[in-house]
Amino acid sequence: MKKYDVVIIGGGAGGLTVASGASSLGAKVALIEKERHLGGDCLHVGCVPSKAFIQASKDIYTARSKGKELGLDVSGSVDLGKVNERVQQSIIAIQKHDSDERFTSLGVDLYKGAGTFTSANTVRVDDQEIYGKRIVIATGSRPLIPPIEGLNDAGFWTNENLFKQKELPENLLVVGGGAIGLELSQALSRLGSKVTIVEKGKKLLSTEDESIQKAAVYILEKELTIHLNSEVKKVQITSNGRKRVTIHKGNEHYTEEYDQILLAVGRKPNSERLNLNAAGVFQDERGFIPTNEKLQTNVPHIFAIGDINGKFAFTHVAGEEGKVVVQNAILGVPKKMSYNHIPWNIYIQPEIFHVGMTEQQARKFGIKFSVYEVPLTDVDRFISDQEADGLIKIITDQNGKIIGAHAIGNGSGDWMQAVVFAMKKGRKIGDLSQMIYPYPNHAAAIKRTADLYWRSKLFSGTIPKLTKKYISWFR
């Protein structure tokens, strides 16, 4: 039996980080992946295709909406096949970074097939069994399919087959209004479908700061039909091949017809095929594998990272957890994973950026805080771009230390990154206005917000009294 310092099950965002980190440090590494290509969900059916898809929809929307303003009439319908060809080109281009050759050249032994535990130190792939002194589970998740009567017979789309489709449905029902549902609903609507969202919760974007949430819903409602507190209970195929859907909202029931259904109701962990019992690894009732701060499962030499541990389902989190595991499992330098400053973006247009506490959380935890908020209509570049929908909000403690920052605005996921750095380094909001921002960039929105802090300091409290005295003396 071949023996390894570390065996990794799953070659996606988390697993690949561990494989490259561990092999670069000289460890003997085995990487097991059940699919033909490495890269996982993010590359093949998640972040990469969805962002390429969103960009295509943005291009079409801009040509149509802005073209008209400039006297150019863009008409006609979109060829979904062509959109998805472009999406696939993006995947192929990025796949090169995650190629088999890259990992084998680092010294990683690749096993293609589904990994199954046979004991706490051994994993079977097809007819081979390998030994790992340490084992990392990084098997990710897949779309959750809710038990809706008639759904399987009627057929549906998920993120796993959307990016292969060729025909844009005229009327599309999206079930689930979370990150996936909203990003893809808006993109499909901008490509030309009439999109309706059915969301079980009483509110969209409930984890976002309320100012951002309200601004986003106001924008989304202009493009999408949204049913809250609602669930799809039944789907039937009509004689002309459409999907007749029964929707329940409280005690109300009604039926509507759609050409296609896209499911986005959350994720299911890929744990069934692992035979976790053989290794004695605990899983919760939904199949996620809990870990401690060092990312160890209940079996200390077995780690679980990425979507499978049920903490934060983001590629950057899987990557960061992978780095922590390299330290713990390969170097033996105890390191805890910190989830304190995890930012995320929701790529609707305009984008949502989120890091740290919301105003509502700060209030709930009884923290004394200040809020500095600026609408993008106060920022020159957004005005000149004619894209001034949105706002930025920075929340600080009483000493000016940043405890949360939120924005909705074109490209906010990029231009808000400076705030993540400031938070990570424990800097105060005032520090953010002590840099020079090249005029007229979008990040100047941060400066305008941070300037509010200085203004509040200068025009209230003891400082203005002292400066008045000083100026009269100096005169």
Ligand X SMILES: NC(=O)c1ccc[n+]([C@@H]2O[C@H](COP(=O)([O-])OP(=O)(O)OC[C@H]3O[C@@H](n4cnc5c(N)ncnc54)[C@H](O)[C@@H]3O)[C@@H](O)[C@H]2O)c1
Residues annotated in the binding site for NAD(+), as ranges?
Answer: 176-183, 199, 266
Asked if 32 interacts with ligand FAD (CB under 6 A), we say yes
Count residues binding ligand FAD (CB under 6 A).
Answer: 36
Q: How far is the CB of 375 from ligand FAD (least distance, A)?
A: 26
| Shortest separation between residue 274's beta carbon and ligand FAD, angstroms | 6
Footprint of ligand FAD on 329-388 (CB under 6 A): 347
| Residue 136's binding partner out of ligand FAD, ligand X, none, with CB under 5 to 8 Å set by partner kind | none
Asked if residues 450 and 457 have their Cβ atoms less than 8 Å apart, the reply is no
Q: Give the interface with ligand X as residue ranges (CB under 6 A).
A: 146, 175-181, 183, 198-201, 231-232, 264-267, 313-314, 344-347
| x/- letters, 161..200, toward ligand FAD (CB under 6 A) | -------------------x--------------------
Binding status of residue 302 toward ligand FAD by CB under 6 A: no
- Residue 177 interacts, among ligand FAD, ligand X, none and using kind-specific CB cut-offs from 5 to 8 Å, with ligand X
Nearer to ligand FAD, 96 or 465 (CB): 96
Using a 10 angstrom Cβ sphere, with 0-12 exposed, 13-18 middle and 19 or more buried, the burial of residue 427 is middle
Cβ within 8 Å of residue 318, ≥6 positions away: 12, 13, 14, 17, 42, 138, 305, 306, 307
Q: CB of 97 within 8 A of CB of 63?
A: no
Nearer to ligand X, 99 or 338 (CB): 338
Which residues on neighbouring strands pair with residue 131, listed in sequence order?
A: 3, 122
> Please, which residue, 139 or 449, has the CB nearer to ligand FAD?
139
Q: Does 34 bind ligand FAD (CB under 6 A)?
A: yes
Residue number with CB closer to ligand FAD (157 or 453): 157
10 near ligand FAD (CB under 6 A): yes
Q: Does 159 sit near ligand FAD (CB under 6 A)? A: yes
Q: Which is nearer to ligand X, 13 or 432 (CB)?
A: 13
Q: Is 58 among the residues that bind ligand FAD (CB under 6 A)?
A: no
Q: Which of 273, 336, 364, 469 binds ligand FAD (CB under 6 A)?
A: 273
CB of 312 to ligand X, least distance (A): 6
Q: Which does 270 bind (CB under 5 to 8 A by kind): ligand X, ligand FAD, none?
A: ligand FAD
Q: What angle do CA 393, 395, 396 make, to 5 degrees?
A: 145
Rounded to the nearest whole angstrom, what is the least distance from the CB of residue 438 to ligand FAD in the complex? Answer: 28
**Nearer to ligand FAD by C-beta: 13 or 362?**
13
Which residues would be at the binding site for ligand FAD (CB under 6 A)? 9-15, 32-35, 40-42, 46-47, 50, 114-115, 138-140, 159, 180, 270, 273-274, 306-308, 313-316, 318, 347
